[in-house]
Every structure is written in C-alpha cells, then in structure tokens.
Amino acid sequence: MSHLFQHRRCVVHTHKPRQIIFVCENGRSSAMPRLSKIERERAIGMVMTGTSKMDVARIFRCSRVTINELWHRYQQTGYTDDRPRPGHPRLTTPAEDRRILLTHLRNRLQTATSTCQALFRGRIAAQTVQESLTRT
C-alpha cells in the first residue's frame, strides 16, 4: 500500500514500512539520506541528555523511526556504526581504472583480454576491464 504526502517541494511515497522515497518536481526520486557517523553519535548524545526522539529527528531532518532504531541498536550493541551493506568489493582501484582507460585511448584496437594480461598479469578478468571502461 502506497501512501502519499507533501514534503517541501517533493511528493513523498512510502511503499514499504521504513522506506521513504522522495519524488521531486524534476521527476527524479531519491531515498532519504543516511546520517553520517558523527551525526549518529550526536543524535545518540542528544537522546541521552533527554531530548525527545521526535525533536532529534527534526533537528537531523530524518524520520523518528530512524532515530528510534539507532537508539535501540546503540542500547543493544553499544555502537552507532552502520549495518553492513550488500555489495561486491571492487577489484580495481580508481588509479587502475584510469590506467586501463589511458591504455585503451592510446591503442583503441587492443582487446580487454590483452589489457588484463599486460597490465595485471591475469589478476583480473577481461570482463572487469570491460566494466571499468564502461564506468569511466
């Protein structure tokens, strides 16, 4: 079930509990921004000093549920760290990506297989070289 309500110049859709999507005037959507580590620690400090969770949420411009979950996680673990996120670690660094790009700009007929053999001695696959070229 989708709920709609106005927030500043955006229409806010809540498709799932705890997921808020802003659809702005330009038609683009974006999720609510995450709190940085410093902001999370400040929020916990404010809750510890007696500030209401609703006031803390208003100050940091996030939902009350975010502050509530942060508080419960802090009480259980003693930490304010972000939860692990899914995702595969990158095999090439940004510097290596630039090196791949420069190599292919110098010799546009060079294949991805020959690039991974020449630059990385087979440490990465040709598919990784192709993905690096499409990223840049």
pLDDT tens column, 94-125:
899 999 999 999 999 999 999 889 888 888 89
For residue 68 the two structure tokens come to 């509530």
At residue 85, the pLDDT reads 74
82 vs 19, more confident: 82
What mean pLDDT comes out for the span 12-35?
Answer: 52
How far apart, in whole angstroms, are the C-alpha atoms of residue 31 and residue 20?
6
pLDDT exceeds cutoff 70 at 9: no
pLDDT tens-digit series, residues 44-88: 999 999 999 999 999 998 889 999 999 999 999 998 887 777 887
Confidence (pLDDT) at 32: 56
SS3 52: coil
Does the domain at 35-81 match CATH 1.10.10.10? Answer given as yes
**Tokens describing residue 52:** 């209401």
- Which pLDDT band, with edges at 50, 70 and 90, does 30 fall under? very low
> Is-above-0.85 flag for pTM?
no
How confident is the model at residue 39, as a pLDDT? 92
pLDDT at 81: 86
Q: Which of 79, 125, 64 is nearest to 100 (CA)?
A: 125
How many residues does the structure list for the chain? Answer: 136
The residue whose two tokens read 């991974």 is: 116
DSSP bridge pairs for 12: 5, 22
So where are the chain's domains? 1-32, 35-81, 94-135
Q: What pLDDT was estimated at residue 31? A: 53
- Return the residue matching tokens 């419960």: 72
